[in-house]
Amino acid sequence: MPRKRFSTEQIVTKLRQAEVELGRGLHVPQVCKKLNISEQTYDRWRKEYGGLRLDQAKRLKALEQENTRLKRLVADQALDNAILKEVASGNF
């Protein structure tokens, strides 16, 4: 089966649909088949986005992207500092 990337909004919507179907008495494998996702994907999504509303999920993704960007900046700056220390000590 080809891999599909779902947006945060789509994930939250699918989780809401799953909750409705589970409330109607369907079992998790049946719900996953109806939503065209695997049980493993459902469990992972539920763990990450379980009780979030749509706006909270969007905010979470934005914060994760910002965190990744800041970590990259810190790594670059640490590398620059190490290079400057090496040059300043005269051991090149």
Q: What pLDDT was estimated at residue 53?
A: 82
Mean pLDDT of the chain: 89
Q: What pLDDT was estimated at residue 82?
A: 92
Please state the pTM of the whole predicted model: 0.61
Q: Is residue 69 part of a domain?
A: yes
Q: Which domain holds residue 30?
A: 8-89
CB neighbour burial string for 56-84, b if at least 16 within 10 angstroms, e if fewer = ebeeeeeeeeeeeeeeeeeeeeeeeeeee
Report how far residue 9's alpha carbon sits from residue 57's, in angstroms, rounded to the nearest whole number: 8
Q: Is residue 3 part of a domain?
A: no
Number of folded domains in the chain? 1
Nearest partner of 41 among 83, 4, 91, judged by Cα: 4
